[in-house]
Structure 1
């Protein structure tokens, strides 16, 4: 009886691990995103406005499978603003985006060395408007989280780990 039980365990162990992983994914999925801060020569910050949510945001989006956080940040900058990072990105912080989901995390990068070979294609399906804005005169509908991150980076405001 003992050897038969061990044989069943051996047979079902890989299936059990896969079943546990699948149940975990379905019941506790975690999402991961990135946002970037890009400043021009005048100290203005680059923001985007999406077609599907109100307000102005830092450019960014989800991290794809097999992609590092920095790779996702670079890709999102190119897609949303035709901005190309020339050097390494600086990781400023990782935040819990509890307003989106209790399992959503966002990494914030600062991009100091970049170029924009041409204007972004506007409007697009996802991004309908972009621009560089004086940090003391942001668009009225700039999101509260975006304003908090700007204050953390520029004004040395206390960091809040909640996005």
Structure 2
């Protein structure tokens, strides 16, 4: 039997339906959430941190990657929204972490970027405070995860696989 005569081949429409059905099944059974964060440095070498209204502490800026959005689009959007930050120069993917403190299916992609602030970030309902800090003089309340990430980026500790 030649390949053209193979009657076991699934017709086009049925094949598309099965592929779509499998994608839905995998999204429900093995789906994961994805977030981005960045260690953002200005030309003076200061790192940008944010303090949210809904969680305690100072954090690296970032947020979730939405359906249909690339990781880089999400990164640029979150930096713009959380700090009026514009990426200048190339971005450096640093590491991907499993964030089991959020859920058993959450991952965070961490970048190191150079940025320029286009305007001061004023406080609102989401961001209480946002500004640059000397990496050697971080504010009280900087989260343990933020301190670990900055230590990893500085080569002081090896990268963990967990946020």
With the shorter chain as reference, the TM-score category is 0.7 to 0.9
For 2:38, the equivalent position in structure 1 comes to 36
Deviations 1:34-78, CA, capped at 9 Å, x for gaps: 001112333321100111111110000001222221221111100
For 1:131, the equivalent position in structure 2 comes to 131
Deviations 1:104-159, CA, capped at 9 Å, x for gaps: 111111112x3212112x21222111111222222221111110000011143111
Structure 2 unaligned blocks of 5 or more:
1-7
In 2, the alpha carbon distance for the partners of 1:14 and 1:42 equals: 53
The Cα RMSD (Å) is 2.3
Shift of 1:19: 4.4
What SS does the corresponding residue of 2:89 show, helix, strand or coil? Answer: coil
In 1, the alpha carbon distance for the partners of 2:44 and 2:19 equals: 54
Higher strand content, 1 or 2: 2
Runs of 4+ in structure 1 displaced over 4 angstroms?
9-20
TM-score using structure 2 length: 0.83
TM-score using structure 1 length: 0.83
Alpha-carbon contact 1:70-1:89 (below 8 Å) kept: no
Q: Spell out the pairing of 1:16-55 with structure 2 (5 A cutoff).
A: 17-55=19-57
> Is 1:153 paired with 2:153?
yes
